């Protein structure tokens, strides 16, 4: 046993390990399943060989790869001849393959995935017709992932930027390992019991392909299909497609993309509202002009309607209708008229009346003792509903003389 005065450097230790491994081991045949197969432009191949208990990283250099009779594919069971090698800088063990023979058929893991896929197909769970659309303006989103991973932080960042009023409910679950399938199923059942959840994101960040086994589990796939709200699968791989991706209502390549799919961009929504407001303002002025010409009402002497995007000061004898919307789509600026009459005009209301000339106006203008109706926005569908009941006709609103008029 050495003393502190005889301590080795890290470099010396790495060299000794490298020499012991490489000089003390003859070439051997190894049987295993290919995982994480990658071919680089240089012509070299990198992959892993695994069995039920272990995995070893492998290198297949260009010169050896040129003698392959066919491409290496994920899930293949192969026999590889090679020697152990230690990368001294990181003291990382690799298996340098000098010959590789493909065994017949797929590896055990790939065969199990294929059997699960066929069972899901038989029950119609992969049918595109059963996929549900996402809500346009979700208020509450459940997120199933590991709170220790980067996925949850990516989702929160995107949600804060695009739609900050949304509520996120994070359900912690393992996303890899033997316990992951059962925890994912339990998390999906928890989401089903939560109140007023609009949709669910389930996923994880990046990782090796073999770490995605939980998202190919049959119980997890069936739990996704049984979830009462639309589910977005975000496993975190651009290339790899899991069975959970196929069963979910929508697949996202990454957790960040899942959040973008689930949430609208508030800037785009505001721009759309501004454009619609300008159209409404122009149409409103056109109706006012037509009403004045029809009823010979002099401008400024009776009730009129003016539509604007921004708030303004009400003028005498004129109802000034303000059209706008806060970012959370729940309140619109009101409109004020002289004589204490007050109303709020929401976006796309369900009128009980129509503009002049449409032939649909029927309800009477409320008297001074009846408060005007208020409009409330249901953000999830961009539909506006009136409370309390009782309506008025726009025709009466435009043509009725104001309280200051003779």
Q: What is the pLDDT along the chain (406 residues), one digit of tens a residue?
A: 678 878 989 998 989 998 988 887 888 999 999 999 999 999 999 999 998 889 999 999 998 888 887 788 888 889 899 999 998 888 889 999 999 887 765 577 888 899 999 999 999 999 999 999 999 999 999 999 999 999 999 999 999 999 998 999 999 999 998 899 999 999 999 999 998 999 999 999 877 777 889 999 999 999 999 999 999 999 976 667 899 999 999 999 999 999 999 999 999 999 999 999 889 988 888 888 888 777 654 454 444 333 333 333 333 333 333 333 332 233 333 333 333 333 333 333 333 333 333 333 333 333 333 333 333 333 332 233 333 333 332 332 333 334 443 4
297 and 277 part of one domain: yes
Q: How far is CA 144 from CA 49, 204, 326, in A?
A: 31, 9, 30
Domain that holds residue 65: 4-106
DSSP annotation string for 317-376: T-EEEE----TTSS----EE-TTS-EE---SSB--SS--TTSS---SPPP-TTSPPPEEE
- CA angle (243 as vertex; 198, 199 as ends), nearest 5: 5
The distance from CA 128 to its chain's CA centroid, rounded to whole angstroms, is 18
The token pair at 335 is 């409109």
- Residue 406 lies inside a defined structural domain of this protein: no
- Residue 338 lies inside a defined structural domain of this protein: yes
Domain end (from 106, 130, 152): 106
273 and 211 part of one domain: no
Rounded to whole angstroms, the Cα distance separating 313 from 319 reads: 11
- Residue 284 lies inside a defined structural domain of this protein: yes
- Residue 158 lies inside a defined structural domain of this protein: yes
Domain end (from 203, 237, 262): 262
Tell me the CATH number at 178.
3.40.50.261
Rounded to whole angstroms, the Cα distance separating 200 from 259 reads: 10
Rounded to whole angstroms, the Cα distance separating 272 from 260 reads: 18
Give residue-wise pLDDT tens across range 51-73.
888 999 999 999 888 888 778 88
255 and 118 part of one domain: yes
- Walk across the sheet containing 167-172 and list its strands: 167-172, 140-145, 199-203, 231-234, 250-252
**Model-wide pTM > 0.85:** no
Residue 64: enclosing H or E segment and its boundaries? helix 62-65
Q: What pLDDT is recorded for position 106?
A: 58
Query: What sections of 242-265 are H helices per DSSP?
Result: 243-247, 255-262
44 and 127 part of one domain: no
Asked if omega into 298 is within 30° of 0 (cis), the reply is: no
333 and 371 part of one domain: yes
Q: Among residues 257, 308, 254, which one has the least CA distance to residue 280?
A: 308
Q: Among residues 23, 27, 26, 68, which one has the least CA distance to residue 47?
A: 68
Q: Among residues 166, 91, 183, which one has the least CA distance to residue 327?
A: 166
- Residue 200 lies inside a defined structural domain of this protein: yes
160 and 248 part of one domain: yes
Our count of domains for the chain comes to: 3
- Residue 343 lies inside a defined structural domain of this protein: yes
Q: What pLDDT is recorded for position 140?
A: 97
- Tokens 């339990």, residue? 186
Q: What pLDDT is recorded for position 374?
A: 34
Rounded to whole angstroms, the Cα distance separating 142 from 231 reads: 9
55 and 75 part of one domain: yes
- Residue 404 lies inside a defined structural domain of this protein: no
Q: What pLDDT is recorded for position 104?
A: 62
Q: Among residues 329, 149, 156, 125, which one has the least CA distance to residue 231?
A: 125
Asked if omega into 388 is within 30° of 0 (cis), the reply is: yes
The token pair at 254 is 């990454």
Query: What spatial distance separates the first Cα and last Cα of the chain, rounded to whole Å?
Result: 112
75 and 173 part of one domain: no
Q: What pLDDT is recorded for position 108?
A: 76
CB 402 within 8 A of CB 302: yes
Q: What pLDDT is recorded for position 115?
A: 93
Residues 6+ apart with CB under 8 A from 234: 151, 201, 202, 203, 204, 251, 252, 253, 254, 255, 257, 258
Residue 171: enclosing H or E segment and its boundaries? strand 167-172
């Amino acid at each position: 046993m050495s003393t502190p005065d005889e301590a080795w450097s890290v470099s010396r230790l790495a060299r000794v390990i490298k020499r012991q491994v490489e000089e003390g081991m003859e070439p051997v045949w190894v049987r295993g399943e290919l995982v994480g197969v990658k071919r680089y432009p240089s012509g070299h191949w990198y992959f892993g060989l695994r069995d039920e208990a272990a995995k070893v990283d492998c290198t297949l250099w260009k010169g050896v790869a040129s003698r392959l009779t066919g491409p290496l594919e994920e899930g293949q069971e192969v026999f590889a001849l090679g020697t152990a090698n230690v990368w001294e800088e990181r003291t990382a063990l690799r298996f340098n393959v000098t010959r590789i023979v493909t065994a017949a058929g797929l590896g055990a893991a790939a065969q199990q995935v294929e059997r699960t896929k066929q069972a899901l197909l038989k029950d119609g769970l992969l049918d595109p017709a059963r996929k549900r659309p996402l809500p346009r303006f979700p208020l509450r989103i459940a997120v199933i992932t590991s709170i220790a991973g980067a996925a949850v932080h990516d989702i929160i960042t995107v949600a804060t930027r695009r739609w900050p009023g949304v509520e996120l409910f994070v359900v912690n679950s393992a996303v890899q390992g033997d316990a992951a399938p059962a925890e994912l199923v339990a998390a999906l059942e928890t989401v089903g019991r939560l109140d007023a959840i609009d949709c669910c994101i389930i996923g994880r960040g990046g990782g090796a392909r073999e770490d995605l086994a939980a998202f190919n589990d049959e119980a997890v796939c069936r739990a996704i299909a049984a979830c009462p709200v639309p589910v977005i699968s975000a496993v975190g791989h651009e290339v790899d497609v899991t069975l959970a991706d196929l069963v979910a209502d929508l697949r996202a390549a990454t957790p960040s993309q899942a959040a973008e799919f689930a949430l609208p961009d508030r800037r785009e929504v505001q721009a759309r509202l501004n454009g619609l407001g300008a159209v409404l303002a122009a149409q409103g002025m056109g109706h006012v002009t037509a009403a004045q010409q029809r009823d010979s009402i002099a401008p400024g002497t009776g009730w009129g309607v003016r539509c604007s995007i921004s708030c303004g000061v009400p003028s005498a004898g004129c109802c000034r209708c303000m059209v706008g919307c806060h970012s959370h789509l729940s309140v619109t600026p009101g409109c004020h008229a002289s004589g204490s009459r007050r109303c709020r005009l929401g976006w796309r209301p369900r009128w009980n009346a129509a503009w002049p000339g449409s032939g649909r106006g029927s309800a009477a203008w409320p008297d001074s003792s009846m408060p005007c109706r208020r409009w409330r926005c249901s953000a999830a569908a961009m539909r506006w509903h009136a409370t309390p009941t009782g309506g008025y006709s726009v025709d009466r609103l435009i043509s009725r003389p104001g309280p200051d008029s003779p």
